[in-house]
Structure 1
Amino acid sequence: MKPNIGIINSMVRITAGLSMLTYLTIRGARKECDSSHPLLIMLSALKVAEGIVRFCPLTAVYEEMSTEKDGIEQSWQQNIPQDQ
């Protein structure tokens, strides 16, 4: 598993993840009846983890799908009828 995001991107992910995690923790501690959704807490922790290891699974899937496997570039041909 090699890094697929840059340094700046990882710092932004760490900062955003810790900010969201702090906000959700404070929000959950203040109002007991209005607890934070566990999914949001998991997503913010995931952003922190992605920034630390510099690997994003969604970016890896996108890069895998966007590269060509056989090395042959195929053109998209449009068959437009021409009226003469």
Structure 2
Amino acid sequence: MEKNVGTGEAILRITGGLTLIAWATGEMAKDKSPSVHILCAALGAQKVGEGIMRYCPIKDLIVKNKKEEEDSQSGNIVLP
């Protein structure tokens, strides 16, 4: 697993994720049906994890697909 998130982006992901978790937790304390807030808290936790690990699987997938598309357009054969 290669790092694909820079330091500045990692700090933003951690900060945004913790903010989302705090907001969702506060809303769950007020609301009786916290289903949407649990989802928001889970997404915030995912962003915190991405920031700590400095790896984003979605970003990695997009870069790999873009590279494969460029290779196929240039006529190069890429073996796995």
- For Structure 1 versus Structure 2, the TM-score category normalised by the shorter chain is 0.7 to 0.9
1:1-84 paired onto structure 2 within 5 Å: 1-31=1-31, 33-37=32-36, 38-68=38-68, 74=74
Q: Residue deviations 1:4-50, cap 9 Å, x none? A: 0100000000000000000000110123x242522222111100000
CA distance in 2, matches of 1:46, 1:72: 33
Q: Residue deviations 1:28-75, cap 9 Å, x none? A: 0123x242522222111100000000000110001101114895763x
Q: Which protein has the bigger helix share?
A: 2
AA aligned opposite 1:35: P
**Aligned sequence identity (%):** 32
CA distance in 2, matches of 1:64, 1:10: 20
Q: Which structure 1 residue ranges, 4+ long, deviate > 6 Å from structure 2?
A: none
CA RMSD of aligned residues (A): 2.4
Higher-Rg structure is 1
Q: Which runs of 5+ in 2 are unaligned?
A: 75-80
Q: Is the 8 A contact 1:25 1:36 kept in 2?
A: no
Q: Which runs of 5+ in 1 are unaligned?
A: 75-84
